[in-house]
Structures are given as structure tokens and as C-alpha cells.
Amino acid sequence: MHDHAGGGIRGASNRRLLALSLGITSVVMLVQIVGAILSGSLALLADAVHMFTDAAALVIALIAGAVAARPANDRRTFGYQRAEVFGALVNGVILLVLATGIAVEGVRRLMEPAQAEVAGGLMLGVAAVGLVANAVAMWLLSAAQRRSINVRGAYLEVLGDLLGSAAVIVAAIVILATGWVQADAVASLLIAALIVPRAFGLLREVASVLSEGAPSGTHVQEIREHILSTPGVVDVHDVHVWQLTRGAPVMSAHVVVADGDLDTGEAAGILARLQNCLAQHFDVEHSTFQLEPAGHVEHDDARHA
């Protein structure tokens, strides 16, 4: 017996706002790349990479909304939710490679400052454009991020990039005021340091999803306790919780009920209470329960959570 609560396995996302923010982020990223080439600023290039993380996060958020609309079929019984996960895997690997390259070049520039020529004025102007663009993107997402986990993630990514743009502005001001070009390398290393934890966090989340681990913040014991407290439930075993992708938890369990409840038709009421409990307390929109009489004997000796 199963249920698809909430009319779909994922909630509707604010696609228009995400698309607008993606457009702003992508344009500014291209401007920063051109500015980095013309000014010789490694920090601008690093900030462009940081922008790339935001663009990727926005694309992933858009995919999360789009794939939910695609119907499942006999080959993809859960639909195409995992497309987001594989995209995140590629994104995480690319980020690590780019961050490593920026860090190596940053250290080289610190060791050989005479070879680094940076146009501080152009660097400052392009970084200021990035700062304003990020502020606009945050404003666009500010209201929606309170209602959507996908938009919330994108909002935090843009906030992180705003801090990166601020670091580039500070470095540009230092270069213009003192001529200390190493400030550009220091800013690039700072931004690379911001990128690496996010990349590792993304890859760690991908590994958790693909290994079918319980979602972060989900406690199986707490779910068991809620199920056991449901009227009509005698026992519960084989509790499994995993996620198809970020924000799409799935749960299954074998629930033991009194023999008479199955005979009198009370099973439908128990099932409804279980489904409502999982949806309301744990945001699990797809739950599957196997109701068993108290005298039922498992044919499989393996016991799980």
C-alpha cells in the first residue's frame, strides 16, 4: 500500500525567479571572465568561477522543478529525479579542478609578484558590477527563499558570491592605493577557499544520495517512534529512508497491526494516519507501508531498521 502525498514527489519551484537570477548570474560571469583577461586579475577569474557555482546551483534548482513535471514510466518508475544528482556530481568535480588551478596560480603569483600585472581600475569596476548583480539576484529571491528549499539553496549560493565580489573590490582598492599587486592573489586564494568546501559538500551529498543513505537531518529512530505512536500500530520493522535527490525523501516500512484491524477494514484508516504523519512531520511525500497482521512471519530472515 502506498501514497503520493501532496500531488507530486516535489513541490513547485519559483522557476521564473530562478531563471531571472540565472540570467543575471550568467551575464555577470561572462563579464568577469572578460574583465579578468583584460585586467590580468586572478581574483576576478576566481570570482567568475564562484559565479559558476551559483549558476550551476540555479540550473540544478530549475532542473529540480522541471523533472518533477515529467511523468514516470515503466523504465523510470520514479521519473527523472536522479538527473539532478548526476549533474551535481559533474559540477562538484569541475569546481574542485577549477579551485585547485586557481589556488596553484595564486600561490605562484605570491611567490613571483614581479610577473603579476593587474589593472586595478578595471578590476574594481568589474567587481562592482558583480556586487550589484548579486545584490539584485538576492533581492529577487529574498521572498521566495522563505517558502522553497530549492530557492533557499540558490539564495545562499548568491550570498556567498556577493562576499567573493566584495573581496575582489577590497583587493582592487588595495592595488590602486598601494600598488601591492599580491592583494589580487590573496583575494583569489580566499575565493578558492570558499569554493572547495562547497564542492566537497556537494560531492558528499551526491555520495549520500547514490548510496541511498538517509537524508541529512533525518533520524530513522524518530520516524519509528512516530509510527509506533500511531493508533492501531503494534510494531514496525524494515524501516528504510533514502532520497531520490535533494528534497525528495522516500520511505518504506513494514507495519504490524492487530489481526482484527485488517479483518474489519480499519487498515485504511491506519494507512491514512501513517501517510499524513510522514508528510506533515518529516516532509516525506512518497511513503510505502506494508501492513502485516500480528501473527505474520517474515520469510526473509534478514531484519533491518
Give 180-202 as a DSSP string. -THHHHHHHHHHHHHHHHHHHHH
Evaluate if residue 48 carries a pLDDT over 60: yes
> How high does pLDDT run on average in the chain?
79
Task: Find the helix packing angle between 42-68 and 82-111, rounded to 10°.
Answer: 180
In this prediction, residues 193-201 reach a mean pLDDT of 83
Evaluate if residue 302 carries a pLDDT over 50: no
Residues 6+ apart with CB under 8 A from 255: 227, 233, 235, 236, 270, 274, 289, 290, 291, 292
Evaluate if residue 76 carries a pLDDT over 70: no
Residue 37 pLDDT level (bands cut at 50, 70, 90): very high
Helices assigned H by DSSP within the chain: 15-39, 42-68, 82-111, 120-142, 149-178, 182-210, 220-228, 259-264, 267-282
The C-alpha cell that represents 142 in the structure block:
529574498
pTM (predicted TM-score): 0.69
By the 8 A CB rule, do 241 and 219 touch?
no
Residues 6+ apart with CB under 8 A from 113: 181, 182, 185
Residue 2 pLDDT level (bands cut at 50, 70, 90): very low
Domains of the chain: 2-210 (1.20.1510.10), 220-293 (3.30.70.1350)
Give the tens place of pLDDT for each residue, 215-239.
877 788 888 888 888 888 888 888 8
CA distances to 39, 63, 241, 246 from 72, rounded to whole Å, are 50, 16, 20, 18
pLDDT > 70 in the chain, percent? 76
pLDDT > 90 in the chain, percent? 16
CA distances to 54, 142, 169, 232, 263 from 156, rounded to whole Å, are 9, 10, 20, 43, 52
3-state secondary structure of 76: coil
> Shortest CA distance to 168 belongs to which of 196, 136, 134, 201?
134
Evaluate if residue 6 carries a pLDDT over 50: no
Lowest mean pLDDT among 74-88, 97-111, 232-246: 74-88
By the 8 A CB rule, do 17 and 129 touch?
no
3-state secondary structure of 302: coil
Tell me which residue has cell 508528510: 279
Residue 214 pLDDT level (bands cut at 50, 70, 90): confident
Could you give the CA distance from residue 102 to residue 49 in angstroms, rounded to a whole number? Answer: 9
CA distances to 17, 29, 63, 160 from 23, rounded to whole Å, are 10, 10, 15, 18
By the 8 A CB rule, do 98 and 143 touch?
no
Lowest mean pLDDT among 97-106, 148-157, 158-167, 267-276: 148-157
Evaluate if residue 12 carries a pLDDT over 90: no
Lowest mean pLDDT among 16-30, 54-68, 158-172: 54-68
Q: Is 112 left (phi over 0), alpha (psi -120 to 50) or beta?
A: beta
3-state secondary structure of 109: helix
The DSSP bridge pattern shows strands 286-293 and 249-257 to be: parallel
Higher pLDDT, 19 or 113: 19
The C-alpha cell that represents 45 in the structure block:
577569474
